[in-house]
Structure 1
Amino acid sequence: MSAMAHEPLTQDHDHVLLEGFLALDTPEGFRAELIEGEIVVTPPPDGDHEDHINVILKQVIRKSAADMDFSGNKGLTVPRGGLCVRNHVIPDGTFAPTELELFRGAESWMPCEGVSMVAEVTSTKPDRDRKAKRHCYARGGIPLYLLVDRDNSDVTLFSDPENGDYRQHVTVPFGKQLDLPAPFSFALETTRFV
């Protein structure tokens, strides 16, 4: 085993990786993210993936106690964790209170401050959503992370971020309600995910 395989990344390496990532020209519909020091390019989502996001979005619009803005393409920068450059992630859904006008005038990549909840629907690499992105969102201080896990047929709400992870989580199988706390304050119906 080579000693080089475990040497920490240098600041020069971090800078080159970040510059290369930011210069990527991905094909239309593809997403490029920088997650835990790895450049990840994902193809456009399938119809069921988009349907699940729509189910969440429609309920937030109709039932949420707070008026929320939504973005399905907002790039978020997240503090680095361990030996990697600053993460650049794109949640499937990002919710922020309308009164903050968080998305208005924002750059392509913005900090997480003010984001109330992010949502992910698993696709080709579900462990990335279950672990790496969960840790990114917790490090960014995002209060709520909603994960629709299509392989496990369940929905998990992670909350109370601290020290790079969420201290609490509640999981329900598809078909059961999941209570979303304030500022949303409603029970998310998951029957359409079945």
Structure 2
Amino acid sequence: MADRPQMLVSEFEELAKHQGETVRLEFLYGKLGVKAVPDGDHIEIVRWLARRLLPLGDELWLYPEVDLKVAKYRNGRARAAAVLAPDGSFSGQGNWVDADSVLMVVEVTSYDSDTDRRDRVEKPRAYAEAGIPIYLLIDRDTCETIVYSHPADGVYSSPMRLPFGARVELPAPVEITLDTDALKHWVR
């Protein structure tokens, strides 16, 4: 009974159309989740990352706040803080876009009780199942960046945890090194 979905994906999508401005809804593994609206520090972290990724060129873009179809058979709906994808990847798609062209998904933890389950357990699995090459988690609770990469059989095989301030190497297909010292400024 606990594994039964709370609702159908189509029912969730209809509900999500009517959400308020104070929360964002997600639907992972048949369960409805609530995600806090990004605070100012969260927004600054995404801006900081976008600036670091500029050397990758005009053909790639860091899209903020993307609604993705994820997990097995695209039955999950996740609201990513940002995704790195080729320019124009989501043109012509509806409110929830396919993750096929996503090279990296980024999440920034929020200070809510659901963060552990959602960002550290469910999303790595859902993003790996969707075949997204890299999941970058900027964890403001632990002051770490966690790089998940090399998805196979619905699991990332190479998670790498580094404290804020360390140099983080993002593997292919991104292949860039991030100096994460600035992230120390955007934690409580």
Q: Same fold (TM over 0.5)?
A: yes
Q: Which residue pairs with 1:77 in the alignment? A: 69
CA-atom RMSD, angstroms?
2.1
Pairing of 1:40-189 with structure 2 (within 5 A): 40-61=33-54, 63-64=55-56, 67-80=59-72, 86-98=75-87, 101-123=88-110, 124=112, 125-127=114-116, 128-189=118-179
Q: Which residues of structure 1 form unaligned runs of 5+?
A: none
Q: Secondary structure at the match of 1:34?
A: strand
Rg bigger for which structure? Answer: 1
Give the partner amino acid of 1:146.
L
Distance 1:149 1:79 in 2: 21
Distance 2:123 2:169 in 1: 22
Shifted more, 65-74 versus 19-28: the winner is: 65-74
Residues 65 and 182 in structure 1, CA contact (< 8 A), matched pair in contact too: no
Distance 2:38 2:101 in 1: 27
Give the partner amino acid of 1:86.
N
Q: By how many angstroms is 1:97 displaced?
A: 1.9
Give the partner amino acid of 1:159.
S
Residues 9 and 76 in structure 2, CA contact (< 8 A), matched pair in contact too: no
Q: Secondary structure at the match of 1:54?
A: helix
Q: By how many angstroms is 1:29 displaced?
A: 5.4
Q: By how many angstroms is 1:184 displaced?
A: 2.5
Q: Which residue pairs with 2:10 in the alignment? A: 19
Q: By how many angstroms is 1:65 displaced?
A: 6.0
Is 1:32 aligned with 2:25?
A: yes
Distance 1:103 1:20 in 2: 23
Q: By how many angstroms is 1:169 displaced?
A: 1.7
Give the partner amino acid of 1:108.
N
> What CA deviation, in whole Å up to 9, does each residue of 1:33-74 have, x standing for no partner?
10121111223121111111111111011x326731222222
Aligned length: 179
Percent identity, aligned pairs only? 31
Normalised by the size of structure 2, how large is the TM-score?
0.86
Distance 1:148 1:166 in 2: 16
Residues 65 and 183 in structure 1, CA contact (< 8 A), matched pair in contact too: no
> What CA deviation, in whole Å up to 9, does each residue of 1:80-100 have, x standing for no partner?
38xxx91011110111022xx
Distance 2:57 2:169 in 1: 13
Shifted more, 119-128 versus 135-144: the winner is: 119-128
Q: By how many angstroms is 1:30 displaced?
A: 3.0
Residues 149 and 171 in structure 2, CA contact (< 8 A), matched pair in contact too: no
